[in-house]
Amino acid sequence: MPEIIIVKDEAEAGELYARCVADLIKAKPDAVLGLATGSSPLAAYQALARVVHDEAIDVSAVRGFALDEYLGLPLTHPESYHSTIHRTVVEPLGLDPEKVHVPGDVLEGAPLEDGIGTDGHIGFNEPGSSLASGTRVKTLAEQTRIDNARFFDGDINQVPMHCITQGIGTIMKARHLVLLAFGAGKAEAIEETCEGGVSAFCPASALQMHPHATIIVDEEAA
Ligand code: GLP
């Protein structure tokens, strides 16, 4: 079972994530980080950037693989995950852009941080996804397009229909999985993830089978 940590807010979750990843990079300077988009990880990336700068941690050899990407958006679009990962992670942390790939190819033995969709998706593995590895082309669920319309002027028609994502099998090969979720809107998905049966209806429930998964949630999501 995943370990579940209930925190006060996103800032406290960010501090936990930042300490864990900063210590990893100190011990393993060429660590591979799995990188999620969405709003859930933003405070964690900011906290990690602060620790990296305060403790003058050398991140020049760190590699990063993003979980997923929209299909049909130019890389330069501000909401492409290429742009998002560079704006929210690569630049604040000072990573070498050459070592960060969106989306990832193979991600064995890496720690990976993720958010969760209100429908229980991880990466862009929507309900009904198999445990396949590799990088998969998928159709976005209607619920995810509705949720993500906030990044596209509230207009669902601007949200791409398709995406490319690391498969659940690939995500499961990460050495340490960290899932962050905040707010009541995630409570049902977290309940299914932690207490439901392992099922394709809730892709995140696969975390129940991972040997080292950490779920960090606030009171509302818990
Ligand atoms: C997008 C990402 C997912 C992420 C989800 C959660 O759909 N592709 O990887 O899990 O956002 O978003 P948020 O954290 O903003 O709720």
Q: Between 10-27 and 42-54, two packed helices, what is the crossing angle to 10 degrees?
A: 50
Task: Give the per-residue pLDDT at 1.
Answer: 86
- Any ligand 1 atom below 6 A from CB of 148: yes
pLDDT grade, residue 107 (50/70/90)? very low
Pairwise CA distance, residues 97 & 87, whole Å? 11
What's the confidence (pLDDT) of residue 139?
93
Please report which confidence band the pLDDT of residue 136 belongs to, taking 50, 70 and 90 as the band edges.
Answer: confident
> What's the pTM?
0.92
How confident is the model at residue 119, as a pLDDT?
93
Closest C-alpha to ligand 1, atom 1: 38
Averaged pLDDT of the chain: 93
Q: Can you give the pLDDT at residue 105?
A: 40
Please indicate whether residue 180, judged by its CB atom, sits closer than 6 Å to ligand 1: no
- The beta strand positions in the chain, using DSSP E, are 3-7, 32-35, 63-66, 68-71, 100-101, 111-114, 135-139, 162-166, 176-181, 213-218
Q: Is the CB of 115 under 6 A from ligand 1?
A: yes
Res 12: pLDDT: 98
**Mean pLDDT across 25-35:** 97
What residues are labeled active site? 68, 119, 121, 126
Give the Cβ contact number of residue 19 at 10 Å: 13
What's the gap in Å between 117 CA and the centre of ligand 1?
A: 5
Q: What is the pLDDT of residue 100?
A: 96
| Residue range 201-217, pLDDT digits in tens | 999 999 999 999 999 99
Q: Which residue puts its alpha carbon closest to atom 13 of ligand 1?
A: 38
- Ligand 1 near 118 CB (within 6 A): no
